[in-house]
Amino acid sequence: MIIDCKGLVCPEPVLKTKKALEELPNDSILEVSVDNVASKENVLRFASKQGFSADAEDLGGNVFKITIVKGYECGIVAQTPSNESKFLNKVLFIKDDKVGENELGSMLVVGFLKSILELPKLPQTIIFVNKGVLLTSADESSDVIKILKNLEEKGVEIFSCGVCLDFYKVSDKLKVGKIGNAYGTIETLFNSEGTISI
């Protein structure tokens, strides 16, 4: 089966892929065409989370063909219980690049993120939306990028809304984490034991 998702905005490529995979029998191949990196990453991640083998081919001109084989394990190793124990099944949802206003707001957001590193258990996921994506696309030498990279190294999943990155024209400046999508964000929020929003 072949589906064309070029020109579609988040989360449509993932939703169309999900629907097509549900209709296909096992041991089938699905080809998905997309026209941006965010959609490519989101479809690949979705397929991988479902346990399917997936690969992307760059056709040039910012067009990608994703081939998903339904029914074959992708070989992702499950987290060990000891690794899971250092995380809380909680999501930190960050909607702004400041906590409050102006310079104080910028200082507070850095302080809050830095404090997470000192917690005995870390949040499983941090999701950045709206102006929050300006934090994950900040200058490489900024304190916030160093903190977020440290959290990522410790195993915290970090996602930035792809539509938001495009809106603020910083998609090419993403320094930490992965590009997320609306479907993945809602799925993560619903599967968590709690969301903390700042």
Catalytically active residues are 10
Residue type, 7: G
Structure tokens at 29: 């191949």
Instruction: Report the distance separating Cα 138 and Cα 135, nearest Å.
Output: 5
Instruction: Kindly report the backbone phi and psi dihedral angles of residue 136, in degrees, each rounded to the nearest multiple of 5, phi listed first.
Output: -80, -10
111's tokens:
């302080």
Q: Is residue 134 part of a domain?
A: yes
Same domain (yes/no): 85, 180 = yes
Q: What is the CATH number of the domain that holds 106?
A: 3.40.1260.10
Query: Would residue 17 be called left, alpha or beta, if left means φ above 0 and alpha means ψ between -120 and 50 degrees?
Result: alpha
In which domain, by residue range, is 56 found?
2-70
- pLDDT class of 85 with cuts at 50, 70, 90: low
Task: Give every CB contact of residue 83 below 8 A, 6+ residues apart in sequence.
Answer: 155
Same domain, 43 and 125: no
Cα–Cα distance, 46 to 83 (Å, whole number): 22
CATH number at residue 43: 3.30.110.40
pTM of the model: 0.71
Of the residues 38, 70, 102, the one at which a domain ends: 70
The answer to whether residues 103 and 131 belong to one domain is yes
Percent of the chain with pLDDT over 90: 62
- Asked if the structure places residue 60 within a domain, the reply is yes
User: Does any domain span residue 75?
Assistant: no
Number of domains in the chain: 2
Same domain, 99 and 192: yes
Of 51, 70, 89, the position where a domain reaches its end is 70
Residue range 144-151: average pLDDT?
96
Q: Are residues 63 and 100 in the same domain?
A: no
- Asked if 122 and 99 sit in the same domain, the reply is yes
pLDDT digits (tens, 9 = 90+) for 25-67: 888 999 999 998 889 999 998 998 888 999 999 999 989 999 9
Confidence of residue 79 (pLDDT cuts 50, 70, 90): very low
Identify the three-state secondary structure at position 45: helix
154 and 113 inside one domain: yes
Q: How far is CA 109 from CA 100, 105, 116, in A?
A: 9, 6, 11
85 phi, psi to nearest 5 deg: -65, -20
If asked whether residues 95 and 180 sit together in one domain, one would say: yes
Assigned domain for 76 exists? no
